[in-house]
Structures are given as structure tokens and as C-alpha cells.
Amino acid sequence: AEKTEVLSEDLLQIERRLDTVRSMCHHSHKRLMACFQGQHGTDAERRYKKLPLTALAQNMQEASTQLEESLLGKMLETCGDAENQLALELTQHEVFVEREIVEPLCSIAEVEIPNIQKQRKQLAKLVLDWDSVRARWNQAHKSSGTNFQGLPSKIDTLKEEMDEAGNKVELCKDQLAADMYNFMAKEGEYGKFFVTLLEAQADYHRKALAVLEKALPEMRAHQDKWAEKPAFGTPLEEHLKRSGREIALPIEACVMLLLETGMKEEGLFRIGAGASKLKKLKAALDCSTSHLDEFYSDPHAVAGALKSYLRELPEPLMTFNLYEEWTQVASVQDQDKKLQDLWRTCQKLPPQNFVNFRYLIKFLAKLAQTSDVNKMTPSNIAIVLGPNLLWAKTEGTLAEMAAATSVHVVAVIEPIIQHADWFFPEEVEFNVSEAFVPLVTPNSNHSSHTGNDSDSGTLERKRPASMAVMEGDLVKKESFGVKLMDFQAHRRGGTLTRKHIAPAFQPPLPPTDGSTLAPAGPEPPPQSSRAESSTGGGTVPSSAGTLEQGPSSGD
């Protein structure tokens, strides 16, 4: 006889779904358990202690106590507190998920569905018994036609067994169908477990995000307040903004060091420094250390650090945007027009670049005043330092870029250094931050400079004689027999009140021929060189540090 099909098609479909659901619940339970970082089945406190986040938080907090008030110490303290809070939130999340989701899924996979599947196996066994009894009854019924003795009683017995087996099958079948239908009726309830899982995860991540959003501004505030950040390779505007400075730290520090001991050093900016000393000074400036005393004895290392800072700027101090203008001005042959164009281009520099460029040019002009000793004339300074102030944005090797730019840069930088007081008539205080204390060296072979107007010698600043004349002042130097006479009234103004805005008229021009800053020396410069000047008149330092003025060719 054929085997009896005891389940309808819909029950067979439910049976197949039960297998899939059980497999899904089993794997979900297993994977969720693997997600738990704490110990499964433990209380919240013990689970919290076992979390890796807890150990991480403790390590950070212990390290922060040893680093005291350093930036890293503050960062570790804040980050450690945040990690500790995240560990607490994670503990609560895991306990909730285990209680509300993992355990019910485990019950479905290990209890409810197995019970249904157990009844299905029991039904299959009862169906086999029923089929067996029915087969024997059919055999006995067929044999009853030839053997009439004893068969009726045997047939009746088999009939009773068959009926009893059939009843058991029906009962088991009904019970199985009821359990299957009940399970399917609870699908909505079972589906809520996964909704609860996502809601729990969303709640955990919201709380974790709140912890992070509270910690991040605090950490960023620590970092923003911390001025000791690398300056080399950092954009000028960013460095000035985060350090609250007007002049970049490497520029001011190097200038102050050179004013102290480097103004009479031969070949400054030209002679290279030791690589190890230069690297050490750059690292010291990057961490804003105030212990720079050891570098007073090595001006070439200081000059090398200044050149490195200018060269490592992402954008040159004279900017990429103005590169074409600078190079065009460099090609102008008429010196008067060239100086006017250079002045106008200077005014186009961004404010922070303008201030730092003016500061640097003023220092270089001061350095050129002792060129008879240090051999660094404006031309030499422009050759060695100019390529670090301006270069093209086009890609290429450093040598290629320098070769393409050097000729134009020298033609731009040299006249600006020569006529620094005309381009930038304002007095410049070199010790801008007042953070540098003059070095006391009684027997030093170098000149001492601090950048204060009250200092004596070469550091004392006087107003350009051309400006004094334009105001109508009469300056007399009786000891040298030099008399500065008043110029015509229409040559006043110009550089007197000019700051960063171009005047409505052409400013007076400084000397064009023989107007380079004459080096200080034992003898005054030749009278012919002092007498040469252009329409605006120019100033030439004499050997005693006084200002000499020659009448203009027009006068």
C-alpha cells in the first residue's frame, strides 16, 4: 500500500518555514552572543569590568595623571572619561539585548520549534505503524477467500488495530497542526524581537553619540588653546591664527637671535649650517620652546632655519596669486616705474603676508647696512634668500623651480631691500611678542641687538631723512658738515601717511642710481654717491649712523 499523506499542503509549507526560522534564530543567537564584549550571563558590574573599553579607559586615565598639565595629558583625561562612559552605555545595552532579545530567540530556536518538530517525528512514526497494520489487514482480507477457518476473528482484530492506529494518527496530526498554526500566529510577536533589537541599537548609538559630541568639543578646545604646534610646513594664516601671533614664531625668533649675534657674521644666509644643529633648531621652534640660548653661538644655523621655514611654507610669503605680477614687474626696465609697480604689488599682499614680509624686509635692510663686514649686500641677500620668498606654483624639482624663478626674484627683492624705508616707512618693533630677552655677552665679538628703540648703536631707529624733509624739518649734522635742506612743497606726503592703501597720486621715488644702502665703515661714502638721488630724495647711512641726504637732480 502507498504511504499515507497525513499533512496538507499548507501544513507542509509551515513545516518548511519552521526549519528556516529555527536555523535563523539559532544563528542570530550565536552571532549576537559573539557581539557581546562582556561575559554572557553575568551581572552588569562584572560584565562592565570585563569590557575592553573599560581597560582602555583605565589606561588612558592612569597615563593622564602622569602627564599632568600637558596637552596629551588633557587629551587622555577627556578621552578616558568618554571611553569609560561608552563602556557603561555598552554594558547596559548588552544586558538589555540579552534579556529582551537573545533569550527569547534562544527559546524559539531551542524549545518551541524543537517541540513542534518532535511532534512531527512522532506523527511520522504513528503513520508508519498505521500503514503496517493496514497492510496486514489487507493481506488477511485477501486470504479469507480460501481459508474460512479462524480468519474472521483475525481480520476483526487487525481491523481494530488499524482503526486505533488511525485514531492516533489523527490526534497527533491535529495536535501538530494546532501547534504549527499557533506558531505562525505568533510571527508578529516574534518579529518584534528584531524591531526591539534595532531600537536598542539605535538608543545605544544615540547615547554613545551624545557622549562623543560632548567630549569632542572639549578636546578640540584643548587643542586650539595649545599654542605649541608645529610651525614648519603649516600655512602662515593657520599658524598665526592658532598661536595668536602677528609675526610667525620662526621668523621672529630667528630675527631676534640674528640681531643679537649674527649681524656681523660673514656669509649669513649663504654659508650652510650643520645638518644636526639645523634639525635641532627647527624641532625646538616647532615645539615653541623658549630654550634657544645655545643657538646664539651658531648664527648660520639660525639663518638656515629661517630659510627652511620660508621654503617649507605651502604657499610662498609673496603668494602664488601675485607670482605673475612680481615677474612682470621684474622685467620693467624703467626704474621709476618699476619701483612704483613694486609698491603697488606689495599693497596687494594679504594682511598677514604683508606684515610678515615688511618685518623680514626691515631686518634684511638692517643686515645690509653692515655688508662691509658680513659681505651680504642687498644683491647677495636677494640671491640667497629670494627663491625662498617666491616660487612658481608649477610642479617640478626644486632646482628647476629655483632656476626658473631666481632671476625674477632677485630683480624684485633687491630694490625692495635697497629702499626698505620707502616701501615700508613705518617703524618695526622686532621684538613683537616681547618674549625674547637680550643676551648679555660682555666679551662677545658680535654686535648686540634687541630690537628696542632705546638700544644704542645700529639698533637705534631714526625716521628716514626724506620723510623729515617732506615735513619741512631742517636736519643739520654739524660734525660732518652736511646740511639737509627743505624740498619743494609738492614733494611732501607720499610715504608719510601711507600704510596699506595706495595713495591717490604717485608716491615720491627713492634713489635709482647709487641708491643701495651703503655699508657702515670707518670712512664716509664718496660724496658723489651721496649726492645722487631721484625725484624724491633718498637716505644713505653714514659711517657714524647718521643720515645723509643729497639734493635731487631736479633741484
B/e letters for 177-205, b = 16+ CB within 10 Å, e = fewer, are: bebbeebbeeeeebeebeeebeebeeebe
**431 has a pLDDT exceeding 70:** yes
Q: Does some domain include residue 29?
A: yes
Using a 10 angstrom Cβ sphere, with 0-12 exposed, 13-18 middle and 19 or more buried, the burial of residue 472 is exposed
pLDDT of residue 158: 83
* Average pLDDT value over all residues in the chain: 74
pLDDT of residue 393: 82
80 or 111, higher pLDDT: 80
Per the structure, the complete domain to which residue 325 belongs is given by 236-423
pLDDT of residue 416: 94
Q: Does some domain include residue 87?
A: yes
pLDDT of residue 343: 93
> pLDDT tens for residues 370-400?
999 989 999 999 999 999 999 888 755 655 5
pLDDT of residue 400: 59
Residue that finishes a domain, picked among 225, 253, 283:
225
How far apart are the C-alpha atoms of 312 and 306, rounded to whole Å? 10
Which of 316, 297, 294 is CA-nearest to residue 307?
316
| pLDDT bracket for residue 321 (50, 70, 90) | very high
How far apart are the C-alpha atoms of 546 and 384, rounded to whole Å? 29
Whether residue 192 sits in one domain with residue 246: no
Whether residue 358 sits in one domain with residue 325: yes
Which of 486, 480, 481, 479 is CA-nearest to residue 465?
486
**533 has a pLDDT exceeding 90:** no
Cell of 196: 526591539
- In Å, what is the CA distance from 9 to each residue of 14, 15, 238? 9, 10, 75
> pLDDT tens for residues 176-197?
888 888 888 888 888 888 899 9
Whether residue 133 sits in one domain with residue 219: yes
Whether residue 346 sits in one domain with residue 306: yes
pLDDT of residue 37: 61
Q: Does some domain include residue 521?
A: no
| pLDDT bracket for residue 439 (50, 70, 90) | low
CATH number at residue 384: 1.10.555.10
Q: Does some domain include residue 131?
A: yes
Helix (H) or strand (E) holding 476: strand 475-477
Dihedral sign for Cα atoms in the order 413, 415, 421, 426 = negative
Which one-letter amino acid corresponds to residue 1? Answer: A
Whether residue 181 sits in one domain with residue 326: no
**427 has a pLDDT exceeding 60:** yes
Q: Does some domain include residue 496?
A: no
Helix (H) or strand (E) holding 477: strand 475-477
Residue that finishes a domain, picked among 225, 248, 274:
225
Lowest mean pLDDT among 380-389, 426-435, 446-455: 446-455
Whether residue 285 sits in one domain with residue 204: no
Can you tell me the mean pLDDT for 279-301? 78
**520 has a pLDDT exceeding 70:** no
Residue that finishes a domain, picked among 393, 423, 453:
423
| pLDDT bracket for residue 216 (50, 70, 90) | very high
How far apart are the C-alpha atoms of 79 and 398, rounded to whole Å? 42
Q: Does some domain include residue 268?
A: yes
CB atoms under 10 Å from CB of 523, counted, come to 7
Domain count, the chain: 2
How far apart are the C-alpha atoms of 450 and 454, rounded to whole Å? 9
**77 has a pLDDT exceeding 80:** yes
Lowest mean pLDDT among 2-16, 190-204, 284-298: 2-16
Whether residue 105 sits in one domain with residue 34: yes
Cell of 421: 624705508
Whether residue 253 sits in one domain with residue 170: no
Task: State percent of the chain over pLDDT 90.
Answer: 23
Can you tell me the mean pLDDT for 447-473? 35
DSSP track, 296-359: GG-HHHHHHHHHHHHHHSSS-TT-STTHHHHHHHHT---HHHHHHHHHHHHHTS-HHHHHHHHH
What letter does residue 540 receive in the DSSP assignment? E
| pLDDT bracket for residue 127 (50, 70, 90) | confident
How far apart are the C-alpha atoms of 127 and 87, rounded to whole Å? 57
183 or 351, higher pLDDT: 351
How far apart are the C-alpha atoms of 326 and 408, rounded to whole Å? 8
pLDDT of residue 362: 94
Q: Does some domain include residue 158?
A: yes
> pLDDT tens for residues 56-71?
999 998 888 888 778 8
489 or 356, higher pLDDT: 356
Can you tell me the mean pLDDT for 392-411? 69
> pLDDT tens for residues 138-172?
887 777 655 555 566 777 888 888 888 888 888 88
pLDDT of residue 486: 35
Whether residue 351 sits in one domain with residue 248: yes
DSSP track, 377-427: -HHHHHHHHGGGT---SS---HHHHHHHHHHHHHHHHHHHHHTHHHH--S-
| pLDDT bracket for residue 452 (50, 70, 90) | very low
527 or 323, higher pLDDT: 323
- In Å, what is the CA distance from 124 to each residue of 41, 237, 239, 478? 38, 83, 82, 131
Whether residue 288 sits in one domain with residue 197: no
Beta bridge partners of 477: 482
Q: Does some domain include residue 489?
A: no
**121 has a pLDDT exceeding 60:** yes
305 or 40, higher pLDDT: 305
Q: Give the angle 448-449-450 at the CA atoms, nearest 5°.
A: 130
How far apart are the C-alpha atoms of 6 and 10, rounded to whole Å? 12
| pLDDT bracket for residue 513 (50, 70, 90) | very low
> pLDDT tens for residues 292-316?
767 777 889 899 999 999 999 999 9
CB atoms under 10 Å from CB of 38, counted, come to 23
How far apart are the C-alpha atoms of 53 and 42, rounded to whole Å? 17
Whether the predicted model's global pTM rises above the 0.75 cut: no
438 or 209, higher pLDDT: 209
What letter does residue 503 receive in the DSSP assignment? -
DSSP track, 16-43: HHHHHHHHHHHHHHHHHHHH--S-TT--
Whether residue 251 sits in one domain with residue 216: no
Whether residue 284 sits in one domain with residue 181: no
> pLDDT tens for residues 244-258?
889 998 899 899 989
CATH number at residue 58: 1.20.1270.60
**86 has a pLDDT exceeding 80:** yes
pLDDT of residue 221: 86
